[in-house]
Amino acid sequence: MRNRMSWVLVLLMGIMVSSLGAAPANPPDFFLRDGDRVVFLGDSITEQRLYTTFIEAYAMTRHPQWKLTFRNTGWAGDTAFFRSRCHTDGGKLMDADEVTQSAMIEETMKRGLGRDVLSLKPTVVTIDFGMNDVSVKPTNHIYSTYLRCMNRMVTVLQENGARAALLTPQPVEEKRSDPDQAERNQALRKFSDGLKEVAAKTGMPYVDQFDPYMKILLRERDAKPDKFIGRGRDGVHPGAVGHTLMAWAILKGLGATPLVSRVEIDGKAGTLVKAEACKIENLKFGDGVIGFDRLDEALPMPIHPNAGSALELAPVLEDLNRYDLQITGLAPGDYQLSIDGEPAAKTTADELGKGWNLATHAGSITRQGQELLKEVGRKNDLFFNRWRNVQLSSAPGKAPSLETGTQCVAKLAELDQQIAGAEAKIDKLRQPRLHRFELRAIQALVAHAGDAGSPTLSGKPALQGGSAL
């Protein structure tokens, strides 16, 4: 009996200790897998091709050996019943009896999903609707119709072999101190909560980007009541900053992990302590320089050049982009890091001792990521042109239909070739390269004199190279 009591106490203590840990022993897997064909489905916010491009760039850089394909089929003004792409009569749908409504929903799913999604043979579809659904018509049937459409959409995708991820919309950036109390945001919160029920019913992941975005919005409203933190053209359509926040919340919700790679060196002993997700060779100490060759298994996730302030609003780098260098035992003072003979950034012995995240200021490595981000954006623009401007006609008053003329076929073939070329370039850009790192101690006077023109760790993280998509 005594032994049994001791065993119970040990077990309880083990449970208590494990519950205090920072992370579970087996964190959830990333939703995407090697070989996936991903389709982003949504409204104008998806059509902007920003958060989707950032998610794609994360997956491409973090898993450079995976075969992945991404396509964006967002459509401005669209809803869960495909108002824009199928010209569905929202008022008629809302007022229909249950049998008639079911038939109408079935028809919209057949036309909308069949043409714009299933034809791409996806294995994964992310769905981001709701922003337009909440204002279709002032009737009590909006909410129930939205849930019925979303449930049927997921079911059809599952029947066709695709995994669906249900994304809530982000909140509207109302210019008021309490944006969470705005009528549209309260409706979006209700729709988001209902979407969670659909996810539970269908067994698909639910990703709430509404709540983390709203928390940031409420925190910032006190200081910036009249400013869109998302830096977009209006409160509904964010710019690169807002889309970076969206991508951060979505990726976390899909099980994305932070580690790119990590190196730990004992600067006093002159030895390599640990190398995670990378190989370190030719470690040398001498003449005030620590040098080594570093070959990573992945690249840091590129951050859009216009989205630097997103890194101050949310822990994007901490949660998704840890590209770490830790060197302990260094003499106090300032240090200059060079990569491939090029000055990259300055730091201190204290920062290096704690672990220094190089993700946004790693010289040629960061520039490689920026080149990839730009090419991903170009590829997505090419596909949008192929799909919307060539494959589909959009004459007023009718649903787009497939063009079959000789000229159209030739143009499609030309664009397909350009898309394939862009994807080949992306595959090349996402492969890690061998780099020579050198860390050199610098005198305080020299360090301060050079601070004005060098990227540092103080203030905003420096973004090396790249341009707007």
Instruction: For 301-359, give the secondary structure using H, E and C.
Output: CCCCCCCCCHHHHCCHHHHHCEEEEEEECCCCCEEEEEECCEEEEEEEHHHHHHCEECC
- In this prediction, residue 401 carries a pLDDT of 52
- In this prediction, residue 449 carries a pLDDT of 45
Helix (H, G, I), strand (E, B) or coil at 190: helix
The H or E element containing residue 290 is strand 289-296
For strands 322-328 and 259-266, give the pairing: parallel
- In this prediction, residue 139 carries a pLDDT of 52
For the entire predicted model, the pTM comes to 0.87
How large is the C-alpha radius of gyration of the chain? Answer: 25
Among residues 320, 302, 292, 311, the alpha carbon closest in space to that of 430 is found at: 302
pLDDT in tens, 271-288: 999 999 999 999 999 888
- Contact indicator for 251, 320 with CB cutoff of 8 Å: yes
- In this prediction, residue 428 carries a pLDDT of 98
For strands 124-128 and 37-42, give the pairing: parallel
**CATH number for the domain formed by residue range(s) 37-253:** 3.40.50.1110
- In this prediction, residue 186 carries a pLDDT of 94
- In this prediction, residue 405 carries a pLDDT of 59
Contacts of 258 (CB under 8 A, 6+ apart): 318, 319, 320, 321, 322
Ranges of CATH 3.40.50.1110 domains, the chain? 37-253
Q: 315: which 2 tokens? A: 């822990």
Q: How does DSSP assign 362-383, residue by residue?
A: -THHHHHHHHHHHHHHHHHHHH
- In this prediction, residue 87 carries a pLDDT of 93
- In this prediction, residue 287 carries a pLDDT of 85
Q: Which residues of the chain have pLDDT under 70?
A: 1-28, 136-140, 393-406, 443-469
Strands, sheet with 37-42, edge to edge from the N-terminal-most edge strand:
69-72, 37-42, 124-128, 163-167, 206-207
- In this prediction, residue 24 carries a pLDDT of 34
Among residues 351, 423, 337, the alpha carbon closest in space to that of 383 is found at: 423
